């Protein structure tokens, strides 16, 4: 695992605020099923990586891309969250995981 993030938190926040994000159905379904607004929650988490995040590491995905993992404190619900994402070549943040830290899903 890398000791520093592959993707700079400021750049991730900029892309998120521009609306450049995608997430698989498993992520959106988890959020919706637990009464979270997908856009608001993901925006809060991914724009606060620098202030409220703890970088865990960088992992190589099956397709060869690298994804950063964080534990992020969410001020609005006072929970620790686990997020994993990468930035595609098209400059879209691809959010692969987004659940409460330690949550079985």
Q: Which CATH architecture has domain 9-100?
A: 2-Layer Sandwich (3.30)
**Residue 48 DSSP label:** S
Task: Compute the distance between CA of residue 37 and CA of residue 19 in angstroms, rounded to an integer.
Answer: 15
Task: Give me the residue spans of the domains in the chain.
Answer: 9-100
Residue 23 scores a pLDDT above 80: yes
Residue 1 scores a pLDDT above 60: no
Strands 66-74 and 53-60: antiparallel
Which residues sit opposite 22 in a β-bridge? 94
The mean per-residue pLDDT over the stretch 50-78 comes to 96
∠ Cα 38 28 9 (to 5°)? 65
């Amino acid at each position: 695992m890398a000791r520093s993030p592959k993707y700079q938190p400021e750049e991730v926040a900029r892309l998120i605020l521009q609306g450049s994000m995608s997430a698989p159905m498993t992520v959106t379904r988890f959020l919706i099923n637990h009464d979270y607004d997908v856009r608001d929650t993901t925006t809060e988490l991914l724009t606060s990586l620098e202030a409220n995040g703890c970088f865990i590491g960088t992992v190589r995905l099956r397709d060869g891309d690298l994804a950063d993992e964080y534990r992020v404190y969410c001020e609005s619900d006072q929970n620790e969250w686990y997020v994993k994402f990468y930035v595609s070549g098209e400059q879209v943040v691809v959010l692969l995981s987004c659940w409460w830290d330690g949550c079985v899903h």
